[in-house]
């Protein structure tokens, strides 16, 4: 018993070296048995082999400087093609000397999206960000903007209407008077405009040369179609979802009919309808801008899908929430905007962003109606016979750009879920 150490002096032994640290992790996860060990070795070899082949092709033997496609042949990837064509791929047939305009339009749109991704901006600031951002974007793209009188009157009417429904009980008399005034000016003005008493007057802001939508191309087109497609489809989808749950049979029927009709056909058929059938129904000589037709088709289509996603969120809310809101004496718009939607939308953020990502990529379908979105300009770069035969490089480049956008959206969705669920997390 003399060799026994006193209890207090005993030192805990360190675990064996192959049980902890990096070595332990490798042993536990990769080589825990003969079978796992062999699988690990084979997979590592395969990954290394593919990676070395890819790097050899994409980097070490790649040609970055060739002046023509012929010089590029024989080696690895021909990135010189991208160097030669990247301005076209990004901006399409927008006048070449004016490429700074779509460039800054893209930057503006990205800034607008990044700013509105921040939750601190989710108040009146969002309105300013989108108003100013959209104005700059379209001013850069069009070069000139004419704001017709009827649009100004319409905006006044809508703003007054929203103010009245939401703040009727809270607003001071003077504020309420202002809303009434807005509605009155808007309504009377629109009626006068319709009967022709007011002239077709418009504010012209024209600092740059006019560039029509048929010349737009590349990344700005993809971003505009996706951003504004979803920005309009989102409120529209909410209205559809609310309408589908309405007690009024007519509204409910219309919404269900619309959603099922749109969901029953592929986007491509809607685009073809908009570009092939619609012009035949319009009176001869009247054409609606092709870009606008595609944009509207995207909005209608996305709206139906978003409506179904949001309906899922609405249905997940317990009945007590609706009843509590009623007990508070809130009217329908107040109940919906203040109680129901904030909770319902939080639930559906993951599927909603999933829909957004899907639609961002679906906008590339506009190539079948001859609109040059980003994928289509990339396609077009392949047509040039001087740079023939490098489809892999161009499509990889396009895929890379799409990946950047879709991956950021997916990361943002993750962050948003975390942020919005703080209240329910322990």
27, 31, 87, 321: residue in contact with other proteins (rule CB under 8 A): 87
Q: Per CB under 8 A, does 66 bind other proteins?
A: no
Nearer to other proteins, 287 or 316 (CB): 287
Pick the closest to residue 192 from 150, 134, 254, 252 (CA basis).
Answer: 150
Helical pair 100-117 and 124-142, crossing angle rounded to 10 deg? 170
Nearer Cβ to other proteins (135/412): 135
Task: Tell me: does residue 408 bind other proteins (CB under 8 A).
Answer: no
Position 93 contacts other proteins (CB under 8 A): yes
CA atoms within 13 A on the CB side of 213: 17
CB of 136 to other proteins, least distance (A): 9
Query: Least distance in Å: CB of 31 to other proteins?
Result: 40
3-state secondary structure of 145: strand
Say whether residue 85 binds other proteins (CB under 8 A). Answer: yes
Smallest gap from residue 226 Cβ to other proteins (A):
13
**End-to-end alpha-carbon separation of the chain, Å?**
52
Cβ neighbors of 246 (< 8 A, separation 6 or more) are 252, 255
Does position 92 interact with other proteins (CB under 8 A)? The reply is yes
Reduced to 3 states (helix: H, G, I; strand: E, B; else coil), residue 218 is strand
Among 222, 363, 376, 413, binds other proteins (CB under 8 A): 376
- Please give the backbone phi and psi of residue 388, each rounded to the nearest 5 degrees, phi first: -80, 145
For residues 71 and 84, give the distance between their C-alpha atoms in angstroms, rounded to a whole number: 13
> Does 206 engage in binding with other proteins (CB under 8 A)?
no
Give CA separation, 36 vs 341, 357, 371, in Å: 50, 37, 52
State which residue, 308 or 373, has the beta carbon closest to other proteins. Answer: 373
Interface pick for other proteins out of 384, 399, 404, 417 (rule CB under 8 A): 384
Q: Is 84 in the site for other proteins (CB under 8 A)?
A: yes
**Site membership for other proteins, residue 391 (CB under 8 A):** yes
Which residues within the stretch 259-288 sit at the binding site for other proteins (CB under 8 A)?
A: 272, 275-277, 279-280, 282, 284-288
> Of 111, 129, 64, which Cα lies nearest the Cα of 393?
64
**Rule CB under 8 A: which of 291-330 touch other proteins?**
292, 295
Beta carbon nearer to other proteins, 78 or 304: 78
Q: How far apart are CA 390 and CA 265, in angstroms?
A: 35
Footprint on residues 107-136 left by other proteins (CB under 8 A): 116, 122-124, 126-127, 129-131, 134-135
């Amino acid at each position: 018993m003399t060799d026994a150490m006193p209890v207090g002096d005993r030192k805990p032994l360190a675990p064996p070296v192959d049980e902890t640290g990096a070595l332990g992790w490798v042993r536990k996860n990769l080589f825990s048995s003969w079978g796992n060990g062999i699988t690990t070795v084979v997979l590592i070899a395969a990954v290394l082999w593919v990676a070395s082949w890819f790097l050899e092709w994409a980097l070490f033997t790649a040609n970055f400087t060739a002046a023509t496609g012929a010089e590029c042949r024989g080696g690895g990837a021909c990135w010189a093609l991208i160097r030669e064509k990247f301005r076209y791929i990004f901006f399409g047939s927008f006048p070449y000397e004016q490429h700074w305009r779509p460039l800054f339009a893209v930057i503006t749109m990205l800034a607008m999206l990044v700013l509105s991704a921040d939750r601190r901006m989710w108040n009146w600031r969002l309105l300013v960000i989108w108003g100013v951002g959209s104005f700059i974007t379209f001013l850069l793209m069009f070069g000139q903007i004419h704001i017709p009188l009827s649009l100004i009157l319409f905006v006044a009417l809508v703003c007054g209407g929203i103010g009245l429904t939401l703040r009727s009980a809270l607003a001071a008399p003077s504020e309420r008077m202002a809303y009434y005034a807005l509605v009155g000016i808007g309504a009377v003005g629109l009626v006068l405009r319709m009967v022709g008493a007011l002239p077709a007057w418009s504010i012209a802001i024209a600092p740059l040369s006019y560039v029509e939508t048929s010349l737009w191309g590349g990344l700005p087109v993809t971003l505009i179609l996706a951003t504004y497609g979803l920005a309009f489809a989102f409120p529209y989808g909410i209205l559809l979802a609310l309408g589908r749950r309405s007690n009024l049979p007519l509204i409910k029927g219309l919404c269900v009919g619309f959603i099922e009709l749109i969901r029953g056909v592929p986007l491509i058929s809607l685009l073809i309808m908009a570009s092939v059938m619609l012009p035949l129904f319009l009176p001869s000589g009247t054409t609606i801008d092709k870009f606008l037709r595609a944009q509207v088709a995207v909005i209608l289509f996305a709206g139906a899908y978003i409506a179904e996603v949001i309906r899922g969120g609405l249905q997940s809310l317990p009945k007590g929430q609706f009843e509590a809101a009623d007990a508070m004496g809130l009217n329908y718009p107040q109940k919906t905007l203040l109680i129901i939607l904030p909770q319902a939308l939080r639930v559906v953020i993951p599927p909603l962003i999933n829909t957004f990502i899907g639609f961002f990529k679906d906008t590339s379908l506009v190539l079948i109606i001859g609109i040059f979105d980003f994928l289509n300009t990339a396609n077009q770069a392949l047509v040039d016979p001087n740079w023939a035969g490098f489809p892999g490089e161009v499509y990889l480049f396009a895929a890379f750009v799409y990946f950047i956008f879709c991956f950021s959206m997916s990361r943002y969705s993750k962050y948003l879920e975390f942020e919005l669920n703080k209240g329910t997390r322990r």
